[in-house]
Structure 1
């Protein structure tokens, strides 16, 4: 299992949307994907489970209430219109979800819970064998859960808007990655780079070119995600764009991003040999 953490210290830059849509593209490549939502805002959870209260048990219940692990992993399916059936039929996916919980925002939990080795125990050999990829959706700060996830993750991707504010904390993230590599046994943690989301117009592209010049071309994903209203439509129906409108240009953007992510993984592995 390859583990990916989607992170940016600035909120509202498309973290959860990136998580869901990369998961969707991997699923359509017949890869089994586990999405773990550790953000108390529960955005990825509400995206994939659009009915409020649809998840009886959450990651919080597993940690605090000792719910069984199998009871907090939900197989995700969508509804698909069938002309033959003259109605909606289930559309199975290869995505599973461990939902988050607003109770993670409780002051007691945020101050007292610091089990940084939690995810080391969570990823048992049998769980690792069930999935090809795990993608973490996390808050815009290094919470205790984020710290625990960083200690087991293989890769980090940073989604960002093409503006001058979205990458303010990037150097801090580099420091965090280096700290994890030196102070824990996760010595192979790799920062794969920045992917620009909600790209529209020449000004955005000028900023991307500037970032490549200042940060290095290898730091920036070649793939960019354009701004389109269909992203909101897909969010409303609770489907990754590749399931909702597979031929739309926005879907192609996420397919390109996913393919580039897989290429970067291959290159990273090759570099370690």
Structure 2
């Protein structure tokens, strides 16, 4: 199964992945160059209490043009503490540099997820906006059983051509990708994984996903029909920007079963 972070990837496959991620980079960032991928990945740990870790940790990932401090400044941490005072958060600096060099999943696992388990967290949710929302989905897909829930706000999940293919089929639930997938085709691989939400026999973390009403990344109406309950689909007025992201974050926190 194709993945965007497999170590020792063959040259042709690495080239395909690099070209695909470059296209995503242009879409999400424009002409800005990604920052270098540091080892270890930086992470801003924000426990709710000084008395030790709670039961649940939310791992938040910013968008392609944000840094962890932006997530704090824009109120995402305060909103979590207001609605779930015993839940801890860490904001991982999982920027485009990690996706572009193929190390995103490995670094998030080694530098954030495994240390979180070592600290005693029993339930881990991934959350993110834009690139971070996409990263949340990709990581959960690659790590069955590791993640308990997902809150993906305005994630990139497919290019226009790929989503048009799904639209013609009538949505993900009816879409059947041509197999085998081409090397590096992480978009159809991700959509195929999302398709599993319509099959009760396939275990998936609880998923809340949404887009602003004028978001350039918003997929076509009905994409998730037959896959997710209506209250797991989030929406807010606006484009690919802070106002709808913050509104959907509040809605997600009201709906998601986060236990302290």
TM range (shorter): 0.3 to 0.5
- When you count helix as a share of all residues, which structure comes out higher? 1
- When you count strand as a share of all residues, which structure comes out higher? 1
TM-score (ref. length: structure 2): 0.38
Larger radius of gyration: 1
Relative CO higher for 1 or 2, CA cutoff 8 Å, sep ≥ 6?
A: 1
TM-score (ref. length: structure 1): 0.37
